[in-house]
Amino acid sequence: MKGAFITATGTGVGKTWLATALTLACVQRGKRVAAIKPIETGVDPDPIDALKLARACGNESLASAPGLYRAKEPLAPYAIEKRGGARVGSLRALAKRVRELAHDADYAIVEGVGGVLVPLDREHTIADLCALLDLQTVVVARNSLGVLSYTLTALEALRRRKISVRAIVLNHVDRSPKEDLSRTSNADVLADYFPRIPIVRVPRVQDPKDMVDAAGTLRNILKI
Ligand SMILES: Nc1ncnc2c1ncn2[C@@H]1O[C@H](COP(=O)(O)OP(=O)(O)OP(=O)(O)O)[C@@H](O)[C@H]1O
Ligand SMILES: [Mg+2]
């Protein structure tokens, strides 16, 4: 299975946005994409992220395919399990399900959940699912003050698990017009730490039509 696993330094930094943009960019070039969110919480009643991805790749049924983890509580899966809710269960089975769903596609574009170490159960995190899927790993981070430590932390955690990172995306998520001086230097500082990993700056895009262009550089890096 070829494609990308979109993980992040944390929640709300643009994983769905980027995965959607990347999917649209591939679809526009005539590729068949299976854009999948295998684990989604806060599903009340719809898996909103999964639906965005599924619509972008033109296969809405992917969002509600059996065998994917869905839970109503807006919590990490292990927190849900501890409250007596749904368990994620076998990660091998979940990875196999993703592969089946992407069987006919040229590429699988898979969104993680939260940041790189979201606990799925007492023994596993989303990084374990990322390793099993063995796609090109992309780490999305919010391009704002604080991102250096968040990104160094996330990449150290992935390196310990022998997961290589194909690209880091510094995403301009913030709506606030307030100047953030770090935005101009974050990429440069991170490049010193990770000279072999492409660091892609993605602008805040107002018009959805511009999403495809914004994902173009990343698509080239991933060769998808
Ligand atoms: N480059 C961008 N330009 C404009 N809006 C963006 C951009 N990146 C993210 N957003 C917006 O920021 C918000 C958070 O992004 P998104 O939902 O993709 O984050 P996420 O990492 O998938 O969150 P979650 O952890 O809940 O899955 C969304 O409203 C999204 O549309
Ligand atoms: Mg999301």
- Domain positions in the chain are 3-222
Closest CA to 46 of 63, 27, 25: 63
Q: Which residues, judged by CB distance below 6 Å to any ligand atom, belong to the binding site of ligand 1?
A: 8, 11-17, 49, 114, 171-173, 202, 204-205
- Among 35-39, 68-72, 175-179, which stretch is predicted with the lowest mean pLDDT? 175-179
pLDDT over 90 at 207, yes or no:
no
pLDDT of residue 143: 97
Q: For residue 162, which amino acid is it?
A: K
Looking at residue 186, what DSSP letter applies? H
Task: Say which CATH topology domain 3-222 has.
Answer: Rossmann fold (3.40.50)
pLDDT of residue 163: 98
pLDDT over 90 at 89, yes or no:
yes
pLDDT over 90 at 175, yes or no:
no
pLDDT of residue 19: 98
Q: Rounded to the nearest 5 degrees, what angle is found at the Cα of 69, between the Cα atoms of 67 and 70?
A: 120
Per-residue pLDDT of 90-136, as tens digits, reads 999 999 999 999 999 999 999 999 999 999 999 999 999 999 999 99
For residue 190, the CA-to-ligand 2 centroid distance in Å is 24
Q: Rounded distance, CA 224 to CA 107, Å?
A: 7
Q: Rounded distance, CA 219 to CA 119, Å?
A: 29
Tell me what the mean pLDDT of segment 8-21 comes to: 98
Work out the percent of the chain whose per-residue pLDDT is above 90: 96
pLDDT of residue 162: 98
Q: Rounded to the nearest 5 degrees, what angle is found at the Cα of 58, between the Cα atoms of 56 and 59?
A: 115
Ligand 1 pocket check: which of 9, 17, 172 to mutate, most ligand atoms within 8 Å of Cβ? 17
Per-residue pLDDT of 151-174, as tens digits, reads 999 999 999 999 999 999 999 999
The residue nearest atom 16 of ligand 1, judged by CA position, is: 14
Cα dihedral across residues 4, 38, 173, 12: positive or negative: negative
Q: Rounded distance, CA 190 to CA 194, Å?
A: 6
Quick one: which ligand is closest to 18's CA?
A: 1
For residue 12, the CA-to-ligand 1 centroid distance in Å is 6
- 55 pLDDT tier (thresholds 50, 70, 90): very high
What is the rounded average pLDDT for all residues in the chain? 97
**pTM for this entry:** 0.98
Residues with a catalytic annotation lie at 37
The neighbouring-strand residues paired with 107 are 33
For residue 171, the CA-to-ligand 1 centroid distance in Å is 9
Secondary structure of residue 98 in the 3-state scheme: helix
